[in-house]
Amino acid sequence: MPALDYLLTGAEIVDGTGTPPRRADVGLRGDRIAFVGLSPDVRAISTLDCTGMIITPGLIDPHSHSDWSVLGNPDAFSTIHQGVTTEVVGNCGVTYAPIAEDDVEATAGALRAMGYDGPVDWRSFGDLVQRVHSGRTAQNLMWFVGHTAIRSAARSADDQLRAQVRLLEESMEAGAIGFTSGLEYGSGRFAPTEELVTLASVVGRHDGMYASHIRNRDAGLDTAVDEFFAVVDGGGVRAQLSHLNVRHDTGAEQGAWERAAERVVTERQRGTDVLADMTPYPHGIGMATGLLPAWLAERPGAEAAELLKDREVRDRVRRDSDRYWRFVHRGQWHRVRLGVSPAHPDWEGLSFTEIAEKHGADEWECLFDILTAAGADMGSVQLIGDLFTAGHLAEAIAHDHFLLGVDAFTTCRHGTLEGRTRNPLFYHGHTHYLAHHVPAGTLSLETAIHKMTGMVAEHFGMRDRGELREGAFADVVVFDPAVIDRTDTWTLPTRYADAARHVWVNGVPVVTDATHTGRRPGLMLTHRP
C-alpha cells in the first residue's frame, strides 16, 4: 500500500452507520479515506496519536441557513470548530438568489447584517453559487433554492407561475438539489398549494427534493402536514419536513405532533422518501415579519415600515397578529429575544421585556419601532424564541425518522457577525447533541452520530460521505470526549467549540489542535441518484 498522508491511531471510531464504537485506525490519502482497521504495517507521512479520542465522519447539518452568512464568513469558524464539514443550505424558502433588480438593495442590506459588504452583482441562483464557491469555503455546501426568492423574482412577470418554473429549472441546472418553502412568512405565506405542486413537479423530473417550513405548527399542524404531503405526492419528489415540532403554549391540539410524526413513518412505509428534522435547544430562530398579519406582510418592506408609523395601523396589527409564535399574544414576550436588527444592533441579544424597559414602551411598540427603523430591510430582522419544552425536544430528537440539525448559520467572533450571534445555538448547537442529549439518555452516541452523518448523507444523496469506510471522502473529525463532557453548551455562546480537536474536509486539515488552519477545501455538492 502506498504511504498514507495521515494515519490516526489509538482511537475508537463511531463510523456513522449506527453501529457501536470500536477500536480502529483511520488512514487518509488525498481526498479519500484509504484505510480503516488495525495493522502495524501501514505507513504514513504523518501519524497522529489519537489515544482516548473518538473519530467520526464529519458532521452534516441537514437544515442550515449558512448560505446567509457564507459570503461574510467563508471560513465557517463557528461550525467547522464543531466538526461540521457539510451543510445543507437554502432552507425555509429564503435564499439570496434569484433576485429581481428592485430587490437588490434589500438583499445587500440583509447581507451586510451577515458580514458581507461586497457588491450584489448576481441575479441568478447559478451566479450566486458561483460567487460563493469561486471564493472557496471551509465546508462543503449542498444547496436548495428558496421558493420565496423565486416567487419574489418572478412577481413582475405577466405569467408569474411560468416565470417561477423557468427560474426553478435554471436553478436545478446550476446545481440546486431542489427547492424549499417557508409558508409561515414572506411571500410564501400567500402561495396556494397548486403553485407548490407545479414547482414540485419540476423538481420531481430531476429526481430532486422538496423541503418545507410548513404553514402552521400550532393549531393548524394537521392541515399543514396534509398540505406538505399533497405537494410531495403531486410532484413525485423526495422530501424533508423541516423542524417538525410544536411550539409550547400556542394552541396545538392534543396529540397533533404525535400524529404528524406518525404520518412521516407511514408515508415512508408506503414508499415516500421522506424524513423530518429537529433542533438541539428549546429555542430557535424566527423572522420578525412572520408576526405581521397578511394585509401588512404582503406589502414591500419599505411600504409596510411606513404604514407602521401610523397609530391606527399599529393598533390594528396588534389585533390581527395572532399567528406565528402565538404565545406573544398571551403576554409571554420574555420568551423572545432580538436576534438580528440592522437598525438596532445595540438591542440584539436582549429579551423584548428588557428592550421594553430600556425603550420606555411596551413590547409591541418596541417590535413596531424595530421594524419601522429597518425599512426596506424589514425582512432581515430576526428573533430568537424559547419555543419548546424539554420533553417535546427529547421526543423529537430520539425519533428514528428525525435527522439532527441546528437551523442556524455559521458565524465568527469578529466583525459584524460577532455582535449578533450571542446565543449558544450558533457556537455549540451541534456539539450540544453530544454534550447534553447523549449523557441525558435521549439517544446513544452511535445513534446521535448516525443521525448527524450517515443518515443525512444517504437521505440527501451525498455519495461516499457520512461514513468512515475505505473509499469515502475524507471528511473526518477527531473528538476529545473529555472536552465534550466538561463543556457547558448552554452558557458559552461566544467561545468556539473545542471538542473537535482535528477536522479534515476532503482530506485537507481545516482544524488542527482545535485551531483553524485557514484552508478552504469545501465543495459544492450536488445530488447523485
User: What are φ and ψ of residue 80, in 5° steps?
Assistant: -65, -30
pTM: 0.94
Whole-angstrom distance, CA of residue 264 vs CA of residue 344: 41
* Weakest mean pLDDT among 29-33, 180-184, 420-424, 429-433: 420-424
Output the CA angle 336-340-341, nearest 5 degrees.
105
Burial of residue 203 (number of CB atoms within 10 Å: 0-12, 13-18, 19+): buried
Q: Which residue in this structure is represented by grid cell 444547496? A: 143
Whole-angstrom distance, CA of residue 340 vs CA of residue 285: 10
Quote the percentage of the chain above a pLDDT of 70.
Answer: 99
Q: Summarize pLDDT for 96-139 with one digit per residue, the tens.
A: 999 999 999 999 999 998 999 999 999 999 999 999 999 999 99
DSSP string across 342-402: TT-GGGTT-BHHHHHHHHTS-HHHHHHHHHHHHGGGGGG-EEEEE---HHHHHHHHH-TTE
Q: How many other CB atoms are found less than 10 A from the CB of residue 515?
A: 12
Q: Summarize pLDDT for 502-515 with one digit per residue, the tens.
A: 999 999 999 999 99
Q: Summarize pLDDT for 203-245 with one digit per residue, the tens.
A: 999 999 999 999 999 889 999 999 999 999 999 999 999 999 9
* Weakest mean pLDDT among 54-58, 85-89, 172-176, 523-527: 523-527
Show me where the domains of the chain are located: 4-57+470-484+497-517, 59-281+399-460, 286-386
- 3-state class (DSSP) for residue 401: coil
DSSP summary character for residue 342: T
With a cut of 70, say whether residue 275 has pLDDT above it: yes
Q: What share of the chain is helix, strand, coil (3-state, %, to 5)?
A: 40, 20, 40
With a cut of 60, say whether residue 529 has pLDDT above it: no
Average pLDDT, the chain: 95
With a cut of 70, say whether residue 2 has pLDDT above it: yes
With a cut of 80, say whether residue 271 has pLDDT above it: yes
pLDDT higher for 527 or 58?
58
Contact 65, 182 (CB under 8 A): no
Contact 237, 200 (CB under 8 A): yes
Q: Summarize pLDDT for 319-352 with one digit per residue, the tens.
A: 998 888 989 988 999 999 999 898 898 899 899 9
What is the reported pLDDT for 74?
98
Indicate the residue type of 453. T
* Closest by CA position to 54, among listed 392, 431, 318: 431
DSSP summary character for residue 253: P
Contact 467, 453 (CB under 8 A): yes
Strands across the sheet containing 283-287: 283-287, 382-386, 336-340
* Weakest mean pLDDT among 211-215, 254-258, 472-476, 485-489: 485-489
Mean pLDDT of all residues in 391-400: 96
What is the end-to-end Cα distance of the chain in Å, rounded? 31
CATH topology assigned to domain 4-57+470-484+497-517: Urease, subunit C; domain 1 (2.30.40)
- 3-state class (DSSP) for residue 14: coil
With a cut of 80, say whether residue 492 has pLDDT above it: no
Residues in the chain: 529
Mean pLDDT of all residues in 49-71: 98
CATH topology assigned to domain 59-281+399-460: TIM Barrel (3.20.20)
Q: What cell was used for 508?
A: 485537507
Quote the percentage of the chain above a pLDDT of 90.
Answer: 86
Contact 412, 75 (CB under 8 A): yes
- 3-state class (DSSP) for residue 264: helix
Q: Summarize pLDDT for 349-371 with one digit per residue, the tens.
A: 899 999 999 999 999 999 999 99
Whole-angstrom distance, CA of residue 339 vs CA of residue 70: 18
What is the reported pLDDT for 185?
87
User: What are φ and ψ of residue 280, in 5° steps?
Assistant: -85, -25
- 3-state class (DSSP) for residue 98: coil
Mean pLDDT of all residues in 137-151: 98
DSSP summary character for residue 102: G
What is the reported pLDDT for 451?
98
- Work out whether the CA dihedral 176, 84, 280, 276 comes out positive or negative: positive
Q: Provide the pairing of β-strand 500-505 with 476-479.
A: antiparallel
Whole-angstrom distance, CA of residue 366 vs CA of residue 368: 5
Contact 426, 283 (CB under 8 A): no
With cut-offs at 50, 70 and 90, classify the pLDDT of residue 528.
low
DSSP string across 106-140: HHHHHHHTTT--S-----SHHHHHHHHHHT--SSE
* Closest by CA position to 381, among listed 476, 286, 451: 286
Contact 320, 308 (CB under 8 A): no
